Amino acid sequence: MLTLDSVKGWYGRTQALFGVDLHVAPGKTVALVGTNGAGKTTTLRAILGAVRTEGSVRVDGEEISAKPTHRRVNDHRIAIVHEGRGLLSQLTVLENLVVGANRAERARIGEVLELFPVLRDRTHQKVSLLSGGQQQMVALGRALLRDPKYLLLDEPGLGLAPVVIDEIYTYIAELCSRGMGVLLVEQSVTRAASVADELVLLRVGAVDRVVDTRDRERVDQLVADAFGVHH
Ligand code: ATP
């Protein structure tokens, strides 16, 4: 279980998180939703230790909030796919997967390419020549090389056509069914409701409510409320 207890976060002197509580179980997908500036990305950064925080971040019972980012990702199998994907666009698909990978990670490249057959046929193509959806798969593939137990995704569908977003989320569901815990930021509450087990609505850096997506009534209420603030 990935657990946040009363996590506060700051950019310099500006406080962005005011006490976030959150749980992501292995095999579950939790979506962070909320308006621009609600603190969704900052919550992911707090888990990685990329902003100054107070409060508790635990992975499978172990407190990690005092650890530097590299220890969190290496020792606790947390991986992130940033918004904008962070790829080296002039390099090929394979080069992007290989860059920075250690031996164990390189050994998983075949497995990752098996998951994304469309990339397997394009390993020597420059990333800049791929479609947005294919680029997102490369970014996901890079994260998967780390064999994460918990995967953090910041708006994986950003800038992609709806049908491509569906495809990306199908892959994410597959990973989840293999036991990975997924925490994702998703702008569209409706889409989040269709892919996640649980929605966490953030408002001004704190959790407004947590909704189980099987509870259609509360999901509809959340969609209505979120549209209200989205204007
Ligand atoms: P969006 O959908 O716009 O990305 P978000 O919910 O992810 O929104 P955050 O990016 O987490 O929101 O931002 C939370 C708050 O922190 C906002 O008030 C924002 O202005 C502030 N903030 C975010 N990044 C920084 C930064 N690098 N420096 C200073 N303040 C920041």
- Domains (range + CATH), the chain: 2-77+148-227 (3.40.50.300), 85-142 (no CATH)
For residues 44 and 152, the answer to whether their CB atoms sit within 8 Å is yes
The CA distance from 96 to 42, in Å, is: 26
Structure-token match 């409320």, residue found:
225
Is 9 a pocket residue for ligand 1 (Cβ < 6 Å)?
A: no
pLDDT, residue 230, reads 46
CB atoms closer than 10 angstroms to residue 131: 12
For residues 171 and 137, the answer to whether their CB atoms sit within 8 Å is yes
Report CA-CA distances (Å) from 18 to 4, 60, 101, 103, 204: 12, 24, 36, 40, 8
Q: Is the pLDDT of residue 217 over 50?
A: yes
Mean pLDDT of 195-221: 96
CB atoms closer than 10 angstroms to residue 66: 8
Residue nearest to atom 27 of ligand 1 (CA): 11
Is 39 a pocket residue for ligand 1 (Cβ < 6 Å)?
A: yes
Percentage of the chain beyond pLDDT 90 is: 87
Question: Quick one: pLDDT band at residue 227, thresholds 50, 70, 90?
Answer: low
pLDDT, residue 127, reads 95
98 C-alpha to center of ligand 1: Å? 31
82 C-alpha to center of ligand 1: Å? 14
Q: Rounded to two decimals, what is the model's pTM?
A: 0.93
For residues 119 and 110, the answer to whether their CB atoms sit within 8 Å is no
226 C-alpha to center of ligand 1: Å? 18
Residue nearest to atom 31 of ligand 1 (CA): 11
Determine the residue of 8, 22, 40, 42 to mutate for testing ligand 1's pocket, defined as the one with the most ligand atoms within 8 A of the Cβ atom.
42
| Tokens at 204, concatenated | 């001004």
Question: Quick one: pLDDT band at residue 139, thresholds 50, 70, 90?
Answer: very high
Is 14 a pocket residue for ligand 1 (Cβ < 6 Å)?
A: yes
